[in-house]
Structures are given as C-alpha cells and as structure tokens.
Structure 1
Amino acid sequence: MNILVYGAGVQGSYLAHVLIKSGHDVTVLARGKRAEELEKEGLVIRHYLQRKTTVDRVRVIRRLETGDAYDLIFVMMKYSDFGAVLPILAENVSRHIVMVGNNMDAYAMQDYLSKHGQSPKQIAFGFQTTAGTRTDGRVICIRGGHGQMVIGGLNSPIPFRSLLDQAFKRTKYKLSYHDQIDAWLKNHMVLVVPMNMVILFHGFQMKKVVRDDKRLRQLVAAMGEGFHVLDSLGYPLTPAGQASSIIRYPRLVRWALKLFFLLPISRLIDGTDVELHALNYTFAELRTKSDVPTPNWDALEAERIIQS
C-alpha cells in the first residue's frame, strides 16, 4: 500500500515507523532541517519506555504535488497548522485522508475538503496516543504497548475502514474506532488546554508546576468547567468516566497530576504556545455559547495572556 505521512514530528515519525515495519511503501513529508535529517540519518526513534532505538530508511518529499497519488494520507500536524495544509490536500488527487491530532474544527475541515477537493474526498479524524519530543535529529517517543489511534468519521462510519484495517493488519498497533470522534476530540481538548497553560507558565519546569498548588487547583477546576460547557451544549462526555472522575474527585486528580509531573517522563511532554492559543481561542467560542460560568478557566487564560 502506498501511504503518505504528512508531518515528521513525534506523532508522524512513530506512525511512519509502524507502517514501514508492516511492509508498506511509506513516504514522509518534511521540510527544512527535519527533511535533511531524515535523508541523512533515516527515521531515528528512541522508544523511551521500551529502552530501544530503531532506525528506518524512508522516502522523503518536501511538498505534496497535485498528481501525487496515495492510497492513504495521514496528516500528523499541530492544530494550528491544519489550516495551511487544507488547500494542498484539496488540490491533491488522493481520496482517503485521516487528520490526526488535537482538533476543534473537524466539521469545518471536512466541509472545506468536500467543497474544494479536486477529487471526491473521504475524511476520518483521529488522535494517536503517543507523546514525546524531538532532539538532536531523533525522536524520543513515549507509548504504551505498540501504539494506538482513536479514530472515527463524523456523520457515519469511516467509508474506507477496510483500507485502514489493511494498513495495520500486520502490526500490533491498535485502531480504536469511535462513533463520536468530534466529541472525543473536544473532551480531550478540555484536558490538554488547562494542563498546558500551567506547564507553559513554568517553562516546562515540572518541579515548579508541582509546587504551584494554586494553579494545580485551578487546572483541575478548569477541566471540570470545560466538561460542563460541553455537556450544556449537547456534546457527549466521552469517555464518560473521565469527566465524572475529574468533576467528583478534584483532590485525587490533583495528587495524581503531581505524581505524574514528578516523573522524569513528564519532562518529555512537547507542546507549543501557538497550538495552545489556537485551541483555546476556538474553545472560547463554545464557552460564549454556553451559560456555564468558567472562572478558573478564565483566570488561567488571563494570566497566560499577560505572560505571553
């Protein structure tokens, strides 16, 4: 199968590794220094928990031409970068596209590709549950098991599911199909934004995060407020147990976060202020539509604006 992984950060690099090992013809789209690293050194991944390093040779392109045809395209981008990629995907002849990552605008993205696509597009949305960072030409990847992607279509089951199943058939990578992927992504965003606000306040110095009890309290409370906003607007809380635990047991959640931030693995979290701003800006529209008060989220947001 001919597959393009559009993006060579932590997420795209690990997905490309999985697909290469399963025997597919994999191309990675990268630019600048990252493209040069891949061409010179290959796809180098340090699997942090598994304590091993892998190196894969991979075909690299720097731009997607209109006539470049792929059976599947996985777009592995920051939320703030998706907008720039949509016109390129629309002009390309490939039909089956999976947008992977934090996403608050899934319906708008699908609508754009449907209206502007030079060929009929079938779109799915997903989130890969890996984390990590890039340093010295290699990726440090944090994953449980062999990797997993929560994935789904918006208005109906994914029409090209058979292609996806075929792509991962020879791997232990898990595709978890979800019939409410837009709600899942919005629920995930409620976790990501407050947490990254607090982490960015302290410049990724996790010991300072742990000692900042005031902001940790605000962080957990803001998550609860975010879930209440989604619920008030009719979005399912999914996974249901996740939201209820954070709302009902804030003290326990706060201590769990402290324990996590004390672990060396927490220092490998990779986040950007640009993506955080884009996610928060979009969620502000939902907060405006809702009548749910969000004082803790508002306080974190106001301080982030002052510090940025």
Structure 2
Amino acid sequence: MKFLIIGAGGIGCYYGARLLEAGHAVTFIARGAHLEAMQQQGLTVEHEAMQFNAAVDAMSMDTLIAQHSCADYDLIMLALKSGATAGWLAECGPWLKHADTPVLSLQNGVDNEPLIAETIGQTRTLGGLAVRIGGHIIAPGHIEAKGPAQVVMGRWPRIAAPDPALEQLAETLNAAQIPTRVTDNIRYELWKKLLINNGVNPLSALTGLDTRSLTADPALGKAVYAMMQETAVAARADEVELTPADVDEMFALISQFDAIKTSMLVDREKGRPLELDDISGAVIRRCQQQDEPAPNTELVQRLLQLDIRPVQWQPLTA
C-alpha cells in the first residue's frame, strides 16, 4: 500500500517506519529542520522493539500538492496537532477532493473528525487514536518512541454493519506490527482516550512531571482522577456515556504505563503552542453546555494560559 503521513513527528514517524519495514511505500510530510534532516540524512527511530535508520521519502506540503495527486495514495494518516487541523483542511481541501482516499486521524481530542468529515464526507473519514505510545522528536530526523503503540480506528461517527475494507486495513497494520483493532463506535473510544489526555497532559505541562510521577503523588493523583471525572461528564454533551468503570480503567492504565513526558509538556518546554483548546477546552465547553462544573480542568487550563512557571529561590544577600 501507499501511505501518506501528514505531520511526521514522533508518532507519525514511528508508524511510518513500521510500515516501511513491512514493505509498504510511505511519504512523510514535515517541515523545517526535521524535514531537512530526513531528506539529507534519512530517518532514525529508536523503540524498545525496533531500531530503524534509513533514507525516506520526505517533503513539504507545498511540494506534495504541486507534484502529487491525492489519488496517488491508498491512505492518509493525519498526525498533526489538533489545532492545525482546520488550517490544513482549508489549505488542502481542493487537493483532497480530487480522490476517494480515506483520511485516518491519529490526533488528540474529539473535534478533528467532524472537521474532516465536513471537508471530504463521512465515508472517507476514519476516526482513530494512538494508544499507549509516547513519541517525540529528540533531534531533527531522530525519533524516540516507547510503548506498544496500538491503534484503534473506526468509521466516523460509527459503523452500522461489518466493514470488510476497514478490516482489511486493520490486517495490513497488524501485519506491520502495529497492533490495530476496529471499533464500531469510534466516538466513544476518542472520548475514552480524552479521559487520559485531560487527566495528565495539562497537569504534566503545568508541573513538569511525567505521567507516573503525577499519578503516584497522593495529591496530584487525586487531581488527575478528578479531571478524568470531569471529562466523563463532558462526554454526555456528545451523547457518549463514560462510566465510573471507564474512569477507573483509564486511571489504572496511565498509572501502570511507563513514565512518559506528555506531548503537552514537551511542547511547553520547547515553547510551542499547547493543545489546550482541543483537550481541556473541549471538556470545559461541553460541561458549560450542560451547566456542569469542571473546576479542576478550568483551574489547570487557566494557570497554563497565564504561563505561570516555578520561580527559583534565591538566598537573600546582606
């Protein structure tokens, strides 16, 4: 198959490397120093179960549109930051509409798939999430990833009948050592992942702590759990019912998973925009729609918006 990965950062590059090792054709879309390094030196991906280093097909979005048709690809994997989705669709909408190529979103949040479906239609929109993976660019052209790196995917907003094409795609990904399962209710799965994202991403960015440190701390662990509960309340606005058992399951999952830096913490350290609006903002807006409180999520989001950082103590001098 021919795969196109839009937003070839830590997660996109890991999945792309897996697909290349399985014999598929992969084009990586990136920018800046990371793109230049991939073009000149190839791509390096380090993972506990894989060491990849090879030349790859990497280009900018402008070059892709100028030199290739959307129909050249069998699947587009979208791994952009959620805040970039609307802009990307506005820029590439005409290019996307000249084909039937499906788009699989592997992004944070619960608002990407509706935007994609508005542009290319529901039949081409695949909701998805990357589960139990941490992946970051540690240097241009150099990725570090960890975790089982599973994928859950489904047609947006849900599947009403068996879907042979989607099952075939899942078989292809599984054969490439990307553990994949198909769900008939991707909206529920996206909200279930948001339990974790809203629980740890903002707090991690605020405190500078990894996920294990957050959940193991008596006070911060309670805050993580409370923000997950607020996420479950927010989901009802989208007619998704997340049960107390769902909250407990996701809290246990992130508590037991490897200690990782969240993507939001990495973004804050590097001075990049945070996905606040797409994670905590999505929870706050939907709680407000239902006249439900979300005090923990609101507090952490506001502190991040104010960009409050720890002040290093300096001894007084005489």
The reply to whether TM is greater than 0.5 is yes
Name the TM-score, length of structure 1 as normaliser: 0.80
1:163–1:36 Cα change, 3 Å = farther
Q: Percent identical across equivalent pairs?
A: 19
Cα deviation, 1:73-94, whole Å, max 9, x if unaligned, reads 1111111121221124422234
1:142–1:65 Cα change, 3 Å = same
What CA RMSD, in Å, does the superposition of the two structures yield over aligned residues? 3.1
Shift of 1:302: 3.3
1:236 has 2:234 as partner:
no
1:200–1:139 Cα change, 3 Å = same
Q: Distance in 2 between matches of 1:207 and 1:225?
A: 21
Could you say which residue in structure 1 is the equivalent of 2:281?
281
CA contact (8 A) 1:104 1:283 kept: no
Matches within 5 A, 1:240-255: 241-245=245-249
| Greater shift in the superposed pair: 210-219 or 271-280 | 210-219
Gaps of at least 5 residues in structure 1 are none
Could you say which residue in structure 2 is the equivalent of 1:45?
45
1:231–1:244 Cα change, 3 Å = farther
Matches within 5 A, 1:154-303: 154-157=156-159, 160-161=165-166, 164-165=169-170, 167-168=172-173, 170-204=175-209, 209=214, 213-231=218-236, 234-237=239-242, 241-245=245-249, 257=255, 265-271=258-264, 272=267, 274-303=274-303
CA contact (8 A) 1:233 1:290 kept: no
Shift of 1:296: 2.5
Cα deviation, 1:186-236, whole Å, max 9, x if unaligned, reads 221132123122111223477985796434322211211221332476313
1:142–1:290 Cα change, 3 Å = same
Q: Distance in 1 between matches of 2:168 and 2:130?
A: 18
Could you say which residue in structure 2 is the equivalent of 1:2?
2
1:202–1:208 Cα change, 3 Å = farther
- Residues matched between the structures, number: 288
Name the TM-score, length of structure 2 as normaliser: 0.78
Could you say which residue in structure 1 is the equivalent of 2:54?
56
CA contact (8 A) 2:104 2:127 kept: yes
1:190–1:23 Cα change, 3 Å = same
1:177–1:163 Cα change, 3 Å = closer
1:20–1:218 Cα change, 3 Å = same
Q: Distance in 2 between matches of 1:212 and 1:167?
A: 41
Could you say which residue in structure 1 is the equivalent of 2:314?
none
Matches within 5 A, 1:72-83: 72-83=75-86
Shift of 1:30: 1.2
